[in-house]
Structure 1
């Protein structure tokens, strides 16, 4: 496993540079993310992380808050974990270090600890890293407001500790977590010493933290063909991202080459998963939402399913056709989870699933924890019971679907471009009968497009959650319709924006079938 000793880390990679004047530059919704390379606009330095550790311990409160710390395989992880721990200790807290872990596994450290933190930047490139937080008093991950509170409690200067300060020896929690996954699978299948006997799986961990799941499934009787199971902080094969084309391609090749029944793809910290069918077809994005919804609706008939804002019209019809209620909400895994938890039980409604199109899936029955390994257990059990093809029966998929991202240069420029885009979209709706603003918009503007013959496409223009980008999602039920929608957007919404936005990706889409 490629996690370098602290003394071998390049000195410029994680220098004790002057503390960032504004830690809010690192906030990314409910967690923190930044670059570990010097001179970046979002510098995640050792000093900054020590300050955040102090703020988190202060946020937890009490005379000596206990915090569990884990990390993914990134090369910067050990030094960042040590600095975070130093901040916790300086604030009067204590630290348990669990070494290599997953974000969902860190949740299981509650309530034995007052809080836990995972040092990870999920699927982002190796130079990125970050922090994800859990608090025992809420039994959940921090929300954006709580994250802001942690940063506001951080001191202006990094806390002083002896240079000899070090992390305690690692106490791995992955064996315990693997046992939990085993119990989940056994609970879903008839009693048997080897309930997955006869099942062939291909599991791609992408050199992230999820390689241990292969052994857990093999211990249940499955034949597991592993891809990139060894943790490696440089991610040499491909990004550990279930949506990355190379991750999907290599997993599909393994499924077809081995005659496997299912392919599983994890992201770096295993809070997301994607799948590949026995025929080599990707089961991600809309297909994954539909698959998880079908599982939820069978266990909780008539329940609500909360998704993010970019799910297709076909997903809505699929959920409603199976007797469920589809609730679209804002992008961001914490946003959809919080909304699902809020509406569950409200006015007699039941909600069983919160899922983001990127693959974050949280079930009420699993404590609203977004856990790629748990989702994998559910899907593997379905395959063992007889297959998943029937679960996706009736899903209508768009003829075309594409998202492009338009660089605005900075966050303030992004907000200005969005304000102009929203105004122009609403002006265009007034003069263009084919466009109708969707009645519910939790972020940006989603517009239904009448494509004739009862076919309906749509587009959504919104601000990116984490970067200075305007994201444009386009779906069409007509071949070539995506390009036509893009051309209309360039003419009616983004005309004159070339000096403020990089319109190249949208212009490329507009050229399709022009």
Structure 2
């Protein structure tokens, strides 16, 4: 199908607008999804969109297709992804699913579609693969006009915030925070923090799908420039950076220094385990071994799974876990429906550090730390990235190395590990390394990069 190659990903549909994903294709996807959903007993959807400039056009087109399949559409407007999850968690029993028009942290030219049910995101195997196959076969025909669904509008933000604030523990001491919404869809974050008892200052809170100040991605160093400067200037206790649709979050300490996903996960895991001793904690394979060991030292049980919120949520539900974390800033709490809500995570983080009685920088310094590289992304075409990873797996196994193939290839050696995996959201290969000392990290990182470069050359992908 022209324009659709590579847009059906592990847990959403995502591509460049309009070349890869435009209104015409969105309408056809809406009709195909609606036909499949209707056959599963779904009667309607909650439809939201983030701040991207292409959002209104894609939302209108998808809505038209869904209505042509017989579904009712409830448009909740410009919202963050967690609100859609929240609606389906609360009202999924009424036969309602959720569709969010978003490309999360991707650059402005991207947009996408993310479908959820019962507070959980669908994956390729659950839904998107069936939609892709339906479109490849020509797609379903629309229903007669008298059987089409209707469309209505609702504002559910106030109800969501009441529930959110009722679930989040309040800080045990006064805190000052700077909150950077990245010109995304969590424009109400400061008000929520004020209502939670946190003195908060807002940055980049006006929704603007061009993301003019910085990339809406807490994994990017430049995303912290505004919040770091403001935290130092205002004498705040910590800072927060949300991604474009507010399902990921990053934090900075009182000096404006980003603390990283590993430290945030340990701080939150400690707080959760103090409230629910002996709980299970789900972590993805990119997470530092220091986090795994720390959870065990606190009496928790770490459970490792592959990267992606669909896989995290499935593991949380199956294991009855209290908390889950990804290095990318997705954070999940079972006492808030088990989905990744970055605003709720920020409130939980504030409550956690308020119990410590010392600056965040000292809290982070007290945590165990192994030497690790940041997550690195190397461009690689979607149609080749999985072949590259499979080639590396074959080579490592032939060499007799210990390979954990949960998600890509994670190779464990005596003094560390490295992982190379295909991104589920971008045409890229992701890699990270960790070791017990700096010398070992340098050696492991060098091999990791060399192995990837060699595999890229051997498959003819270098320079593409």
Band the TM-score falls in, shorter-chain normalisation: 0.7 to 0.9
CA separation in 2, counterparts of 1:104 and 1:320? 29
Contact 1:57–1:65 (8 Å) recurs in 2: no
Closer, same or farther: CA 203–166 of 1 in aligned 2, 3 Å: farther
Match of 1:52 among 11, 24, 29: 29
Q: Which gives a bigger RCO, structure 1 or 2 (Cα 8 Å, sep 6+)?
A: 2
Rg comparison, structure with higher value: 1
| Residue 266, structure 1, aligned to residue 217, structure 2 | no
Q: In the TM superposition, what is the alpha-carbon distance from 1:212 to its structure 2 partner?
A: 0.3
| Residue 449, structure 1, aligned to residue 447, structure 2 | no
Closer, same or farther: CA 94–422 of 1 in aligned 2, 3 Å: same
Describe the SS at the equivalent of 1:286: helix
Q: CA RMSD in A?
A: 3.0
Mark the runs of 5 or more structure 1 residues left unpaired by the alignment: 1-19, 190-194, 345-350, 431-435, 451-455, 505-514
Closer, same or farther: CA 486–222 of 1 in aligned 2, 3 Å: closer
Q: In the TM superposition, what is the alpha-carbon distance from 1:199 to its structure 2 partner?
A: 2.6
CA separation in 2, counterparts of 1:393 and 1:158? 60
Q: In the TM superposition, what is the alpha-carbon distance from 1:45 to its structure 2 partner?
A: 1.5
Deviations, residues 314-371 of structure 1 (Å, cap 9, x unaligned): 1121111111112221111211221121122xxxxxx211221101111121221111
CA separation in 2, counterparts of 1:74 and 1:64? 28
CA separation in 2, counterparts of 1:239 and 1:495? 31
| Residue 141, structure 1, aligned to residue 105, structure 2 | no
CA separation in 2, counterparts of 1:66 and 1:445? 40
Contact 2:120–2:310 (8 Å) recurs in 1: no
Closer, same or farther: CA 441–295 of 1 in aligned 2, 3 Å: farther
CA separation in 1, counterparts of 2:12 and 2:306? 17
Mark the runs of 5 or more structure 2 residues left unpaired by the alignment: none
Q: What's the counterpart of residue 123 of structure 1?
A: 105
Contact 1:60–1:114 (8 Å) recurs in 2: no
Choose 80-89 or 53-62, whichever is displaced more. Answer: 53-62
Deviations, residues 83-135 of structure 1 (Å, cap 9, x unaligned): 01101111112211111111111123231561221110000011100111123
Closer, same or farther: CA 149–294 of 1 in aligned 2, 3 Å: same
CA separation in 2, counterparts of 1:208 and 1:491? 37
Q: In the TM superposition, what is the alpha-carbon distance from 1:470 to its structure 2 partner?
A: 3.5
Matches within 5 A, 1:332-347: 332-344=308-320
Q: What's the counterpart of residue 369 of structure 1?
A: 339
Match of 1:323 among 281, 284, 299: 299
| Residue 73, structure 1, aligned to residue 62, structure 2 | no
Match of 2:78 among 100, 105, 108: 100
Q: What's the counterpart of residue 424 of structure 1?
A: 395
Describe the SS at the equivalent of 1:241: coil
Contact 1:57–1:91 (8 Å) recurs in 2: yes
Match of 1:297 among 273, 288, 294: 273
Q: What's the counterpart of residue 28 of structure 1?
A: 9
Contact 2:42–2:97 (8 Å) recurs in 1: no
Describe the SS at the equivalent of 1:25: coil
CA separation in 1, counterparts of 2:304 and 2:330? 15
CA separation in 2, counterparts of 1:338 and 1:324? 19
Deviations, residues 224-262 of structure 1 (Å, cap 9, x unaligned): 211101101110001112222122232122111101122
Count the aligned residue pairs. 451
Closer, same or farther: CA 487–245 of 1 in aligned 2, 3 Å: closer
Deviations, residues 260-305 of structure 1 (Å, cap 9, x unaligned): 1221111111111111122323233211221221122112212221
Q: In the TM superposition, what is the alpha-carbon distance from 1:159 to its structure 2 partner?
A: 5.0
Closer, same or farther: CA 262–161 of 1 in aligned 2, 3 Å: farther
Deviations, residues 133-183 of structure 1 (Å, cap 9, x unaligned): 123xx4532232222234444553785999xx9996743322222222322
TM-score, normalised by the number of residues in structure 1: 0.80
Q: In the TM superposition, what is the alpha-carbon distance from 1:401 to its structure 2 partner?
A: 1.2
Closer, same or farther: CA 166–160 of 1 in aligned 2, 3 Å: closer
Describe the SS at the equivalent of 1:97: strand
Describe the SS at the equivalent of 1:27: coil
Closer, same or farther: CA 107–414 of 1 in aligned 2, 3 Å: closer
Choose 266-275 or 169-178, whichever is displaced more. Answer: 169-178
Describe the SS at the equivalent of 2:373: strand
CA separation in 1, counterparts of 2:421 and 2:239? 32
TM-score, normalised by the number of residues in structure 2: 0.87
